[in-house]
Chain A
Amino acid sequence: MLFFRSEDEIRAWCRGRGVEPGPAVSVEQLWRLSVVWYGTRLHPEPPRRTPDEARAIFVGVGLTDPFWDPVPRQE
């Protein structure tokens, strides 16, 4: 995981190395995701989310890149 000031910097960094950009997440998105995603961590039995619930959380904070799609892999 690498940290950047802006999406422009991500693109420039990747361009300089011939690497395809990965999914970028803003600090604000990450914060909102963390509040929901980790909010149940201290429950005695943290609920295991279904793919649909997980997707709803990701989409809710604007994480729509296929990287975040929780559909199980079709090997």
Chain B
Amino acid sequence: MTEKRFGLTRRQVLAAGAGAAAVPAFVGAQSPRASLLAAPPIPNVRIGFVGVGGMGTVHVRNLLAVHEASPGVEIRAVCDIVPEHAERARDFVREAGGAEPTLYTRGERDYERMCAEEELDLVFTATPWRFHVPVCVAAMENGKHAATEVPAATTIDECWQLVETAERTGRHCVMMENCNYGRWEMMVFHLVRLGVLGEVLHAEGGYLHDLRDVKFANRGEGLWRRAHSHTRNANLYPTHGLGPVANCMDIGRGDRFDYLVSMSGPSRGLQDYAREHFPEGAPQRAEEFTLGDVNLSLIKTARGRTITVVHDTNLPRPYSRINLVQGTRGIFQGYPNRVYVEGRSESHRWDDAETWYEEYAHPLWRNVASPGEELGHGRMDYLEDYRLIRCLQEGLPTEMNVYDAAALSAVTDLSERSVADRSRPMDFPDFTRGGWETFEKLPVVTD
């Protein structure tokens, strides 16, 4: 009789118990396999959309364009608390020649009714942040795959809720990080895969976007986004900068975020903006903000590599996501895009990245044109929606899985705790429970 099963021995279990204060029920088993998140193919993807404001409308129109290029997508239902928004989306579906979607406009939780009543393969949400997790959970609990705009979650508990629900129901929960499909982000990923930058050791990313007018607008994100700046001092929107560089570092597929330290500076920008743009006595001038204008977070990975993530949305400045990836042979840096590779670039001088593009463009950018008008943030948004649909149609693992969504989104909560505690290191949970060591690396897809 062998004592070894499922990779653990009786002796190992007893030895582990000796060091543990309390060990609840356990089962010895291997970590989840890479195939876990590849669901059976869905030739015709039936979608229910929740939240069709600015970004949701972009996705709806892109999904209709994906269908136009290659039939196999259907928008069956649309849910929004503002009936006119849902009707606008319905009109786009009609114009594209689709069957009329059912509208769900009976308030904040009407997505629950949609998830329960509709026959759908995918529920896609682009609502304000606090609804992302409830919508995804309702979708998965009703047997539907879920896709959510960024960030997937805003607390560690919410991250676990997504992971546990996806594991229990066997459904995808994809975070729609469009910047992973950006022209330059994808070229850098391609450079990394080809080994041009050598071994990647360090990366920098961020969201540096003057959002003062957006946060104070009387519409769209102005209705909800500013509220987070009232109450949270954290890296509130980490995934645009972090998602692409995490892919270059194989986070969740060979490495993982280990811990983070974070600092925020003073909060001035929103107060100053309110004073300069609203009349004496306006309620906006009395608002107080907790969010430091610049947050700097530093992540150490399990393999000892380093990443910085910046959040900077309250001060006058040009846009940047930094997008820096540095390896043993060279470096890429965005804004403006430049490359330096030893032996190829002139010593100590940047090359304009455009001079590298012809040779190193990512095959997806070379091969897949977006049909018609380019919406939202241009082709990257289209490619993101296109690849999600391709993965679902062909039963492939999605390029962003629930573990990625949780790890990237966890930065907000961990940075908040670190900032509040003199930048003390905060450990990332291993949402993959060891799976990161064996999950397959992301491929360079070609079409």
Contact = CB atoms under 8 A, between A and B. Distances in A.
Contacts of B24: 3, 27, 30
Given A2-B433, A16-B167, A30-B17, A70 B3 contact: yes
A26 B30 CA distance: 19
B444 interface: no
Nearest to A41: B18
A24 B10 contact: no
A56 interface: no
A23 B5 CA distance: 9
B25 A3 contact: yes
A32 to B, nearest CB: 12
B13 A37 contact: no
Interface size class of B (residues with CB under 8 A): 20 to 34
B428 to A, nearest CB: 18
Contacts of A5: 25
Given A16-B170, A34-B17, A22 B28 contact: yes
A67 B5 contact: yes
A1 B26 contact: yes
Given A21-B27, A24-B26, A71 B1 contact: yes
Contact of A13 (B2, B8, B28, B167): B167
A12 interface: yes
A41 B19 CA distance: 11
B18 A69 contact: no
Contact of B10 (A4, A10, A17, A70): A70
Interface in B22-47: 22-30, 32-33, 36
A68 B10 contact: yes
Contact of A66 (B1, B14, B16): B1
Nearest to A9: B168
A48 interface: no
Contacts of B168: 9, 12-13, 16
A47 B8 CA distance: 24
A18 B170 CA distance: 12
Q: Is the interface of A mostly helix, strand, loop or mixed?
A: mixed
A59 interface: no
A50 to B, nearest CB: 15
Contact of A73 (B2, B6, B170): B2
B33 A25 contact: no
A1 B3 contact: no
Given A38-B17, A41-B18, A2 B10 contact: no
Given A16-B170, A38-B17, A4 B25 contact: yes
A31 B170 CA distance: 32
B10 A22 contact: no
A20 interface: yes
A21 to B, nearest CB: 6
A26 B36 contact: no
Contacts of A9: 168
Interface core residue of A1, A3, A16, A18 (most chain B CB under 10 Å): A1
A34 B19 CA distance: 11
Given A1-B8, A69-B1, A37 B29 contact: no
B23 A67 contact: no
Nearest to A20: B6
Contacts of A4: 25-27
Contacts of B5: 22-23, 67
Interface in B352-369: none
A22 B168 CA distance: 18
Given A38-B17, A41-B18, A67-B10, A10 B3 contact: no
A4 B18 CA distance: 20
Contact of B16 (A1, A14, A26, A70): A1
B1 A2 contact: no
Nearest to A33: B17
A21 B10 contact: no
Contacts of B14: 37
A26 to B, nearest CB: 5
A1 B27 CA distance: 6
A73 B9 CA distance: 12
Contacts of A2: 26-27, 29, 433
A61 to B, nearest CB: 12
A20 B27 CA distance: 10
Given A16-B168, A17-B36, 4 more contacts: A2-B26, A13-B168, A17-B30, A30-B24
Interface of A: 1-5, 9-10, 12-14, 16-27, 30-31, 33-34, 37-38, 41, 66-71, 73
13 contacts: A1-B16, A1-B23, A2-B26, A3-B25, A13-B168, A16-B170, A17-B30, A19-B33, A22-B29, A27-B25, A30-B23, A31-B22, A73-B1
